[in-house]
Amino acid sequence: MARTIMIAGHAKLPRGMAARDVYETLTVTAEIDPKYGVIVEASCTLLTIHAQNFLNDLLRGYSLIEGQEQILEAIQNGYHGKAKDALMAACKDMYYYYVNSKTIEHV
């Protein structure tokens, strides 16, 4: 079994965002420990390095085995920008792929 797995979620970006000039969708990726479901590292296609680092710091350490609610709450309370709904939708999509993956030990 792989030491970690990569899962991605996607969502449509809102109009008026600089990232939309480059990407039509927002992608959130997470490197996950398959045994415990813990997010080891996360990334996204927001344009600024600061926003990308912030999302990584926000999501790192959460276990997807425990569900998506804590992650969505962290974004709701921690990220205050135009992409909030897209980030939450992309994380929901990522969680869907996590739950439906056959390579994960505990789900």
Q: Is residue 10 part of a domain?
A: yes
What pTM was estimated for this model as a whole? 0.87
SS3 91: helix
Q: Is residue 91 part of a domain?
A: yes
* Mean pLDDT to the nearest integer, 35-53: 93
Q: Is residue 63 part of a domain?
A: yes
Residue 32: per-residue pLDDT: 96
| Residue 20 pLDDT grade (very low, low, confident, very high; cuts 50, 70, 90) | low
Place of tokens 């790192």: 60
Q: Convert the pLDDT of each residue in 47-96 to its tens digit.
A: 789 999 999 999 999 999 999 999 999 999 999 988 899 999 999 999 99
* Total of domains in the chain: 1
* Angle of CA points 59, 87, 30, to nearest 5°: 40
Question: What is the radius of gyration, based on Cα positions, of the chain?
Answer: 13
**59 DSSP β-pair partners:** none
Residue 54: per-residue pLDDT: 96
Whichever domain contains 83, its CATH number is: 3.30.390.50
Q: Is residue 54 part of a domain?
A: yes
Q: Is residue 107 part of a domain?
A: no
> What is the extent of the structural domain holding 19?
5-99
pLDDT(106) > 60:
no
Q: Is residue 104 part of a domain?
A: no
